[in-house]
Structure 1
Amino acid sequence: MTTVRIPNWNRAGVLPPFIPSRPVSQDRSPYRVTLSDLIEHFGTTPARRKILAGFLGFRAALHDMGFVDGFQWLNGSFTERVEQSRLRRPPRDMDVVTFVRRPPAFKPAEHHRYLFDTDAVRARFLTDSYYVALDTQSQEELVTVCTYWYSMWSHRRRDLLWKGFLQIDLGPGQDTVARERLASLDALGGQS
């Protein structure tokens, strides 16, 4: 997967839906980015680092359950500059849709069932989580569900501002480095 750098927030405090200098480029929302770039770009405050730690914990639980093939869309107040917006508060969680090809004959173990309870996942991992099974839906159904999530996430509900969001590979290959980088940011402490 080819990745891009996470664009800076625009004047409205959101990720731009496309790169203004290249309006017809394929480098647009959802921006395909690395997990390390996510940590670097958004791990700027203790509240944000706590959410990132939760997200990494959520990914580890998904990997433990066998969910390693797919990608995740990330959005919500976490991807906005809410601290400097009219809200003047830190983000509370990260919104995540996991698009996954489940392992053959998948049946979650009892100790993994909480991963399908949105409230339980939010409480434990600070992640507002939803799933799309890539392996059980027709192409038409996948287009419909992707269109739904894109239309939900490509704007803010409160003012209809057009905005961008991110895409991360679901595989566990980047997670160790990301956890190490997050730990080093935590060790530095404070806000950057």
Structure 2
Amino acid sequence: MIPLWNLAGLIPPIRPGEEGHGTDRSPYNATFSEVIEHFGVTPDRLAILTGLLEYRQALYGIGITAGFQWLDGSFVENVETLKERSPNDIDVVTFFRLPGGQTQDGLFEQAQHLFDIQQTKQQYRVDGYPMILGEQLEDWHVDQISYWYSMWSHTRDGKWKGFVRVGLDPDGDEAASQLLQDMQEMEVVQ
């Protein structure tokens, strides 16, 4: 379950009431349906979630079905109140296992558009970064993961904040797709 925004309009980095050394902390595990229910509070946010769903479906379409995503950026903040604007996109790191029989070079050649930040931002409103799981851990992997965790655990002005972890789940995303569609239809009716 994703904690509610705190008074600063941020997801708390540690679940309220937990010890500072406790394990119930960011990144918070959630299903994609929970992400939709939690963050799909405006038409702009629903549009970004639609783009994220389409991005996830495109990943599934090339065989990327095992792994998870970290979700962050202004999308997980209450920017409507904090900055009097809507979020523009969602920041996503996709940690994934290569599809069977696929090489990193072959996959990136086949689906370069899904790993190009400019294209994912334009097509899906996703600022997307790939990270392959199951390969030998190199120094640069640790550096990159540390960078994301450090950057995503703070706002630009230094406030601590949390972010969300969502498993890749093609079956679960079918239910999430229906939920998203239902919420968009409710927005139209209102």
TM-score, normalised to structure 2's length? 0.91
Change (3 A) 1:142 1:191: farther
TM-score, normalised to structure 1's length? 0.90
My pick for the range that moved more, 41-50 or 167-176, is 167-176
- Offset of residue 111 of structure 1: 6.1
Q: Distance in 2 between matches of 1:89 and 1:111?
A: 37
Task: Give 1:132's aligned residue.
Answer: 131
Aligned amino acid, residue 126 of structure 2: T
Change (3 A) 1:68 1:144: same
What aligned pairs does 1:34-113 form with structure 2 within 5 A after superposition?
Answer: 34-85=31-82, 87-103=83-99, 104-106=101-103, 107-108=106-107, 112-113=111-112
**Does the CA contact (< 8 Å) of 1:99 and 1:133 recur in 2?**
yes
- Offset of residue 173 of structure 1: 2.4
Show structure 1 runs of 5+ residues with no match: none
Report the secondary structure of 1:189's partner residue.
Answer: helix
Give yes or no for the alignment of 1:161 onto 2:146. Answer: no
Q: Distance in 2 between matches of 1:142 and 1:122?
A: 23
Report the secondary structure of 2:107's partner residue.
Answer: coil
Give yes or no for the alignment of 1:26 onto 2:23. Answer: yes
> Which deviations, in whole Å up to 9, do the C-alpha atoms of 1:38-76 show, x marking residues without a partner?
010111110000000000000000000111111100000
Question: Superposition RMSD on alpha carbons, in Å?
Answer: 1.9
Report the secondary structure of 1:108's partner residue.
Answer: helix
Task: Give 1:17's aligned residue.
Answer: 13
Task: Give 1:172's aligned residue.
Answer: 170
**Does the CA contact (< 8 Å) of 1:156 and 1:163 recur in 2?**
yes
